[in-house]
Chain A
Amino acid sequence: MIIDTLFAILIKNSILTAFVTVGVIMWVSYFLSDKLTQGKFHGSAIAISLGLVLAYIGGLTHEGSRGLANIEIFSGMAIVGGAMFRDFAIVATAFGANLNDLKSAGLAGIVSLFLGVLVSFVIGAAMAVAFGYTDPVSVVTIGAGAVTYIVGPVTGAALNAGSDIIAISVAAGLVKSILVMVSTPMIAGRIGLDNPQSALIFGGLMGTTSGVAAGLAATDPKLVPYGAMTATFYTGLGCLLCPSVLYFATVALLG
């Protein structure tokens, strides 16, 4: 009875439960960062990695597509970590950002956006060909998945791709997003990701909103608005180019 009542309360107030859960993850992460790595690995980077590990466990033990939130008492994580709060908080990070730096997104933003979509698409498509896919619809759908896990299924649906191909394309996009989350803080120093201009370019090249949001959070939260500024156009651009221009180009190439 004691346990049942507790679970009922935790499930009924799922957002509050999520606040407690995230609070505990943050505390553990900052503790580990301090004691084990002397602050070398930033607490937020550890917290994001720990979140992904919990997402893996949640997906392993419970049916569903929402990681830890598959478990009923943690269902609030899907709301707190959902698109609504994510976008709300990203916009809040612009408070204090430099308007002129944001506006200078112009040329750098456009170049990185087009190049970002194109490069990811070509790599995804080339991998599909290397694995023996020859029909343009499958190749383009998998290429689009390497753009983002939203562009993949949108393109696949537009081109009538099979559900097995769409699943691969979503998986490619998820791999990209998760890898950006984890590896950005480690690689940031080597690619000069330490100023608004490079963050704008980074956002345009990577494009995955979740990846960029988490990657920059773990690197330097001050850079978030600049990366988000360009990344916010990426998925739209991908959905525009993949099923049209890039599909026709692929058809022409594969005969």
Chain B
Amino acid sequence: MIIYGVAILATCTLSGLYLGSLLGEIIGVDANVGGVGIAMLLLLTAVHYLPNELSSTSISSKGVLFWNAMYIPIVVAMAAKQNVIAALDGGLLALLAGTLAVVVSFALVPIISKMIKREDSE
């Protein structure tokens, strides 16, 4: 049943967020630490242990695939609710700090990729 897929997906998400919250409390920060990542691993574990129920052709998997396909529309809604005005109101300092952080981080992507590859091949 489709609801089984949706229920499994929701269970994994809730469990992951719960564990991420606990992890945050343990290390003493006011934030969810790794919740979404833990949830993704839980989902893949569920797929592993319920191969028939969650094979990509099963009916249950349609409940997961629907939300998978809704990802981009949800991200578009997320873009539409951003506080763009506040970003622009922060003045030149905020604009420069945010922009430079992005530019330098972009530049680091290929550098770290190369570094890790070298590490792997050694």
**Residues of A bordering B, CB below 8 Å:** 18-19, 21-23, 25-26, 44, 47-52, 54-56, 58-60, 65-69, 74, 77-78, 80-82, 85-97, 99, 102, 107-108, 111-112, 115-116, 119-120, 123-124, 127-128, 131, 142-143, 145-147, 150-151, 154, 167-181, 183, 187, 191-193, 197-198, 201-202, 205-206, 209-210, 213-214, 217, 221, 224-225, 228-230, 232-233, 235-240
Q: Give the residue among B13, B27, B98 with the most A Cβ atoms within 10 A.
A: B98
**Residues of B bordering A, CB below 8 Å:** 9-10, 12-13, 16-17, 20, 23-24, 27-37, 39-41, 43-44, 47-48, 56, 61, 64-65, 67-68, 70-102, 104-110, 112-113, 115-117, 119
Chain B residues, CB < 8 A from A177:
82
* CB < 8 Å neighbour of B84 from A56, A89, A225: A56
- Give the complex CA separation of A30 and B74 in angstroms: 16
The answer to whether B112 touches A171, judged by C-beta atoms less than 8 angstroms apart, is: no
**A167 — nearest CB in chain B belongs to which residue?**
B90
* CB < 8 Å neighbour of A198 from B33, B68, B113: B113
* CB < 8 Å neighbour of B100 from A127, A173, A180: A127
- Give the complex CA separation of A7 and B88 in angstroms: 31
- Say whether, besides A102-B41, A128-B97, A217-B72, A150 and B113 are in contact (CB < 8 Å): no
The answer to whether A87 touches B77, judged by C-beta atoms less than 8 angstroms apart, is: no
The answer to whether B113 touches A192, judged by C-beta atoms less than 8 angstroms apart, is: yes
The answer to whether B40 touches A48, judged by C-beta atoms less than 8 angstroms apart, is: no
The answer to whether A205 touches B80, judged by C-beta atoms less than 8 angstroms apart, is: no
The answer to whether A77 touches B77, judged by C-beta atoms less than 8 angstroms apart, is: yes
| Interface pairs (15), CB distance under 8 Å | A48-B76, A56-B88, A81-B77, A87-B17, A91-B36, A92-B70, A154-B30, A168-B93, A172-B94, A175-B90, A177-B82, A192-B113, A201-B109, A205-B106, A225-B40
* CB < 8 Å neighbour of A111 from B20, B41, B70, B115: B115
A56 to chain B, nearest CB (A): 4
6 interchain residue pairs of minimum CB distance: A171-B90, A175-B98, A81-B77, A51-B79, A236-B33, A59-B85
The answer to whether B31 touches A181, judged by C-beta atoms less than 8 angstroms apart, is: no
